[in-house]
Amino acid sequence: MALSSPFPKCVADGAWVFFGALRTYALKSGDDGSFNRDKYLRTPTPTLGKTAPAGRGSTATPPYHWHLYQTETFDVNSGILCYILDGKQGKLQAGETVSIPPRHWHTFWSDPASGVDLDANITVRGGPNPGFDETFVRNSYGYLSSCTMQNLTPANPIQMLTFMYSADVTPELPLNLGRFANYALGTWLGWLGGFKSEDSAFAPK
């Protein structure tokens, strides 16, 4: 990866700040193998004119994907979280929750029409590997944030597949080739190209 940037940073309260608008806190890792994080996304004011931190088209919005082993649960503290689950769109308001089992397609974003900051707790559980954990969040969002803030877009797809393969995350691709692409491109081609799933630039200081 070899992309060190001053833009993603860990601030005094322990949050990692990406795109100048997305704050994530690693709250706990449970004895049951769960990983819990708090995700705080500002309302849609463009960040340095380079990315809108709210809306389906935001760089901060995950691609349509599923988790190989983990169940992902969203609990909204404030604001409105929009999501697509198996092709159906929904919205969660403060106090509402949704759980997404493994191998179900989904994505989510902050509702740009609400005018309210989104604050949500996201918990993942299950699986034989750490999967979608704090390391994945720091490195994948750190890389995307660095690319965006330096106008190095689009992000390298091999690097993104390397991240996703390491976290047991499968993206939607034509002809349902997501898992094959993860393995063939994210692992073998990624290894040949020197791509890694972790970068010291995004390690805790």
- Model confidence over 120-163: pLDDT tens digits? 989 888 888 878 888 898 899 999 888 888 877 778 999 999 99
R_g of the chain, CA atoms, integer Å: 16
Looking up tokens 């972790």 gives 198
Q: Write down the mean pLDDT value for the chain.
A: 82
* pLDDT tens sequence across 182-202: 878 888 888 888 899 998 888
Confidence of residue 106 (pLDDT cuts 50, 70, 90): very high
To the nearest whole percent, how much of the chain has pLDDT over 70? Answer: 80
Query: What's the pTM value of the predicted model, to 2 decimals?
Result: 0.83
More confident residue, 205 or 61: 61
CB-based contact 45:142 (threshold 8 Å): no
Is domain 9-195 classified as CATH 1.10.3720.10? no
What φ, ψ does residue 49 adopt, rounded to 5°? 70, 10
